[in-house]
């Protein structure tokens, strides 16, 4: 369904990893509310995890996103319920613009996963043990390549291949390049108008 908007397919993402540990990391942590005061997403990447990365005087704290060895990472490895809380799309936007191409974790908050998909960023899940093992591996091998295969639902690193999970709709959207829903849905404009007209609460043309 690639059209002139140039929708890409996202069959895989590979690169080095960065582990961010902890359950229930909410979108306020990923991008604090005060950075929502932007009217475009440009430059938002530098504020990813800002308040857990810097103290009040802007001195860097211990955080993987501050470590040189993870600076070029593109695969984020997280634990459970990542991205819970506010629906702000600034969160995946910040991660993506920081350099993240895929997130692998135990589980994701739904709105967050949906927002990631809208940017073409897969959210891939695996068991708690597999995730921890992957985080340990990344910690010890920051230069090692991690391969997230969305189509096959696997994550490969070192000699290990994890049987991962990608939500069916997400997988289809990424692999077939139909994650740009705007273009896709716009092509159904006529059917939309028909549905609208069939709804009792929509006033028919003329009496509005």
Partner 1 sequence: MSRGTLYDKVWDRHTVTRLPTGQDQLFVGLHLVHEVTSPQAFGMLRERDMEVAYPERTHATVDHIVPTGDRSRPFEGAAEEMMSHLEENVREAGIDFSHPDTGDQGIVHVIGPEQGLTQPGMTIVCGDSHTSTHGAFGALAFGIGTSQIRDVLATGTIAMEKQKVRRIRVTGELGEAVEAKDVILEIIRRLGTDGGVGYVYEYAGEAIESLDMEGRMSICNMSIEGGARAGYINPDETTYEWLEDTDAFADDPERFAELKSYWESITSDDDAEYDDEVVIDGSELEPVVTWGTTPGQGIGISEEIPHPEDLPEDKQDTARHAQEHMRVEPGDTMKGYPIDVAFLGSCTNARMPDLRNAARVVAGREVHDDVRAMVVPGSQRVKAAAEAEGLDEIFREAGFDWRDAGCSMCLGMNEDQLEGDEASASSSNRNFVGRQGSKEGRTVLMNPKMVAAAAIEGEVTDVRDLPETEVSAQ
Which residue ranges make up the site for partner 1 (CB under 8 A)?
Answer: 1, 5, 22-24, 26, 28-29, 32-34, 36-41, 51, 56, 80-81, 84-90, 93, 107, 109-111, 114-115, 118-119, 168-169, 172-173, 176, 178-179, 181-182, 184-186, 188-189, 191-192, 194-196, 198-202, 208
Distances (CA, A) of 2 to 119, 177, 203: 15, 6, 35
Quick one: 72 or 110, whose CB is closer to partner 1?
Answer: 110
Quick one: 25 or 146, whose CB is closer to partner 1?
Answer: 25
C-alpha–C-alpha distance, residues 162 and 17, integer Å = 15
φ/ψ (deg, to 5) at 17: -110, 165
Chain-centre distance for alpha carbon 13 = 12
Quick one: 34 or 161, whose CB is closer to partner 1?
Answer: 34
DSSP secondary structure letter of residue 131: H
C-alpha–C-alpha distance, residues 56 and 16, integer Å = 30
Minimum distance from CB of 185 to partner 1 (Å)? 4
In the numeric block, the tokens 């896709």 are attached to 184
Quick one: 60 or 158, whose CB is closer to partner 1?
Answer: 60
C-alpha–C-alpha distance, residues 82 and 128, integer Å = 13
Minimum distance from CB of 71 to partner 1 (Å)? 24
Minimum distance from CB of 151 to partner 1 (Å)? 15
């Amino acid at each position: 369904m690639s059209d002139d908007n140039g929708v890409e397919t996202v069959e895989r993402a590979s690169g080095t990893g960065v582990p961010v540990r902890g359950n229930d990391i909410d979108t306020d942590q990923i991008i604090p509310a005060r950075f929502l005061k932007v009217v475009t997403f440009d430059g938002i990447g530098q504020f990813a995890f800002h308040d857990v990365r810097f103290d009040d005087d802007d001195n860097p704290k211990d955080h993987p996103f501050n470590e040189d060895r993870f600076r070029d990472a593109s695969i984020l490895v997280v634990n459970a319920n990542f991205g819970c809380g506010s629906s702000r799309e600034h969160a995946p936007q910040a991660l993506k613009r920081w350099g993240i191409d895929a997130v692998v974790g135990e589980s994701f908050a739904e709105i967050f996963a949906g927002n990631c998909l809208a940017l073409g960023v897969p959210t891939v899940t695996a068991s708690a043990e597999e995730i921890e093992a992957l985080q340990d591996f990344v910690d010890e091998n920051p230069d090692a390549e991690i391969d997230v295969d969305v189509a096959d639902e696997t994550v490969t690193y070192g000699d290990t291949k994890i049987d991962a999970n990608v939500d069916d709709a997400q997988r289809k959207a990424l692999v077939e390049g139909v994650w740009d829903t705007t273009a896709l849905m716009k092509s159904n404009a006529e059917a939309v108008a028909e549905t609208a007209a069939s709804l009792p609460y929509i006033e028919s043309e003329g009496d509005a």
